[in-house]
């Protein structure tokens, strides 16, 4: 339980798919233990291109923490190699977490978290 989190590794320190999966499972487990009555939906950063080696950053968030989000609604604008693209919500929910603006993102990183009701995750350690 929480082995990856206890290891002291931070999200920026992992790159392998296995470590990314361990980290994601750890966050999910800790959230479900701390907020037992809340269902969370993770929006993971998608694969942009099979050959992409570029750095992808979020340049503009269209939604702020606490906003209601509808399925397929645009929530952010990202940039890779000077090309901009938008990320849409996969489900309805309330935005309770979003990746930092201009942070480097990789396929499978936690991009945003939606919940069925608002919870303050400001003190939650990711």
Query: What is the SS3 assignment for 112?
Result: strand
What residue spans define the domains of the chain?
Answer: 1-37, 40-118
Contact at 8 Å (CB) between 100 and 111? no
Could you report the per-residue pLDDT of 39-89, keeping only the tens digit for each? 999 998 877 666 555 567 888 999 999 999 999 999 999 887 778 889 999
Q: According to the model, what pLDDT value does residue 2 have?
A: 45
Query: Could you tell me the pTM of the whole model?
Result: 0.82
Domain covering 40-118: architecture? Beta Barrel (2.40)
Q: According to the model, what pLDDT value does residue 74 have?
A: 95
Choose the weakest-confidence range: 13-27, 40-54, 65-79, 96-110.
40-54
Phi-psi region of 31 (alpha: psi -120 to 50; beta: other; left: phi over 0): alpha
Percent of the chain with pLDDT over 70: 82
Average pLDDT, stretch 14-19? 74
Strands (E), the chain: 40-44, 56-61, 68-69, 74-80, 83-88, 93-98, 104-105, 110-115
Burial pattern 30-63, b for ≥16 Cβ within 10 A else e, equals bbeeebeeeebbebebeebeeeeeeebebeebeb
């Amino acid at each position: 339980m929480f082995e990856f989190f206890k290891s002291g590794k931070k999200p920026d320190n992992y790159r392998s798919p296995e470590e990314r999966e361990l980290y994601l499972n750890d966050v999910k487990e800790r959230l479900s233990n701390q907020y037992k009555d809340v269902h969370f939906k993770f929006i993971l950063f998608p694969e942009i291109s099979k050959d992409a080696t570029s750095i992808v950053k979020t340049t503009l968030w269209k939604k702020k923490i606490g906003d209601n989000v509808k399925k397929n609604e645009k929530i952010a604008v990202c940039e890779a190699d000077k090309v901009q693209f938008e990320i849409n919500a996969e489900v309805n929910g309330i935005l309770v977490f979003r990746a930092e603006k201009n942070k480097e993102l990789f396929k499978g990183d936690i991009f945003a978290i939606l919940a069925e009701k608002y919870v303050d995750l400001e003190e939650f350690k990711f």
